[in-house]
Chains A and B, each alone.
Chain A
Amino acid sequence: MHQLRSVASGLLLLAPLACSGLSLPEGPELAELDAAYDAPEGTVDDETIAALADLSLSRLDAILGIGRLDFVTESLTDVAEVVQETAQGEGETRFQLKAVASVERQCPGDGSDPDGDGLLTYTMRVNENDVLDTVWGDFDRCRFPDTGETFPGASVLPRSEGAIVTYDGSMDVYLGGNLHLSDLSFRRFLFRLQGELELETETVAVDFDFRIHTDKRTEIRIPADGGDVVFGFTPGTTDVRLEAGDGSYCCDFAEHFCVLAEGNDCDALETGDQVLRW
């Protein structure tokens, strides 16, 4: 009997030796910040709208200077596909994946010196076949060719098409919820940036967040009385959506007025019932 006990205990000792332990990195999660975009609580009036609009335009200009970070959203999508392929293995769907993807992406630069274009590094996590919704990254002197795109008629920062814009700083990204590997699609990206943006003749501090949708609509959160308000910019138009705690507005930034919004878009902006002017 003693012989039998020895055999059994020896066999059981083998099991712990084989235990593995991939631990997922932890850090600030952005789900709460994303929720702040959906339910802004700040208010706006004739006294404050001008400053808020100017600040939103300034931030939009910085965002357009770095190409709305299109190369980052493309990279996130590509890496997610790699993770998907690894997990599924030719149609196999029963696997449960836990993973950490460490990504190095060379920055776009201007093509003259790829080694000097800087580097974006970020970490994507997967747990139980779900891509976790927050990604953390860093830009190391990342160079972008300025596309020259601006809000119609209003470039606040010293920018010009083809000039090199350099961003050095951190990046947190919220990818949205319900990111199952079996049916993965990104509908929007929430970026939070902290760092410095070097333009041709000026260096500006960057410390803000914004949300990009797949149709390139860009939402920018601005602190206001009582909380935040969110400006929504659609490429190629001066009509801007403003979401505040006391209502939704459609604004014409060229004519400097806002009206109460009817419905979910600002396609038919009427001037008859202006409620905000600056």
Chain B
Amino acid sequence: MVKPSSFLLALGIVLFSSPAWADHTERDRQTEVSAFTLQAQQARLGLLKLEYGILDRWMVGTYTLPWVLMPIVKGPILNLHTKVRLLDAGNFHLAGRLGIYYANVQNIESSSVENGSFKGTIVPMSFIGSYVLSKRWTVSSELSWVQTVAHGDVESPSDSSVGGAVGQSNFQLSVSAEYRFGPHVALNLLTRFAPYVQPLELTTDAEVGPDTVVQLEAEVESGNQNAFLIQPGVTFSWGIWNLRAGLGVGNIFIPGPLLVSGLRTLVPDFDFYVRF
């Protein structure tokens, strides 16, 4: 049994004895929608996700929300992602990002999750290029293909729905810009666009009463063709403490699996994290 005081002490040592403070610097750059990675043995522990730099060019991570939901939905939602910086050529940097998300959940009902029922694997793959224009300006662009594989027959769109977004393969483009006021404050602008969302294919065998058998082959589009998101925000960084917040408008692109919802609304972005 670990005493609380011992745990706090250990946490304090971990947090404050790290040599790498993570204000915005030449080396410590934001890793969201950029080609940059954490440094070796650097961690990013946040409300949204946990990430760790294995090498200077290679980091791994996982999103926290699925782990929190697992006991609630009584089904596995496993997720892992990794990013590798492939190329540093002067001010240009190129990285590849790969994630894998596996879920087998049924009958989720809450105020925020509508008829969540999903059994499938989602593999988002991205290539991200970043160009450091100046000491203050950095722009990045990301090309992503999200491959979804439904396990078993999908009998309705809700069977393939994750928090309101249908588990459809899609191709999307992102462009982001960062403007640094200094080591503590950066403005962000993120734009996403999904020009292609694959229609969901369904096969249903239904019995209607004792005498009728129906085989239904269907394609479903979720109103998320040409989905877009424009989301300005800001990141505050003070030592190891970081707060990222933003508010945009457009379709919801679920962070991590990058599934696209057909719902157009105000889309917030928020994460509070330590990086050390």
Residues of A near any B CB (own CB < 8 A): 3-4, 7-8, 11-12, 14-15, 18-20, 22, 75, 78-79, 82-83, 85-87, 89-92, 94-106, 126
Contact = CB atoms under 8 A, between A and B. Distances in A.
Interface in B73-113: 86-87, 94, 96
B143 A102 contact: no
Q: Size band of the B side of the interface?
A: 35 or more
7 contacts: A12-B171, A14-B147, A22-B201, A86-B202, A95-B220, A97-B219, A99-B219
Given A20-B198, A20-B201, A89 B219 contact: no
Chain A CB count within 10 A is highest, among B147, B155, B198, B199, for B199
A103 to B, nearest CB: 5
Contacts of B161: 89, 92
Interface in B187-239: 196, 198-199, 201-202, 204, 206, 208-209, 211-223
Interface string B132-169: 00000000000101010000000111110100001001
Contacts of A90: 114-115, 158
Contact of B211 (A8, A85, A106): A106
Contact of A95 (B115, B208, B222): B222
DSSP class of B's interface residues: helix, strand, loop or mixed?
Answer: strand
Contact of B212 (A8, A14, A86, A104): A104
Nearest to B125: A11
Given A18-B198, A75-B208, A92-B115, A11 B145 contact: yes
B208 A96 contact: no
Contacts of A94: 222-223, 262-263
Given A8-B127, A15-B196, A90-B158, A102 B215 contact: yes
A104 B125 CA distance: 43
Nearest to B169: A18
Given A15-B196, A20-B198, A78 B127 contact: no
Contacts of B223: 94-96
Interface string B247-276: 000000000000000110000000000000
The 5 nearest A-B residue pairs measured at CB = A89-B158, A99-B218, A96-B221, A106-B211, A94-B223
Contacts of B157: 86-87, 89, 92, 95
Contacts of A126: 218
A78 B125 contact: no
A7 B129 CA distance: 11
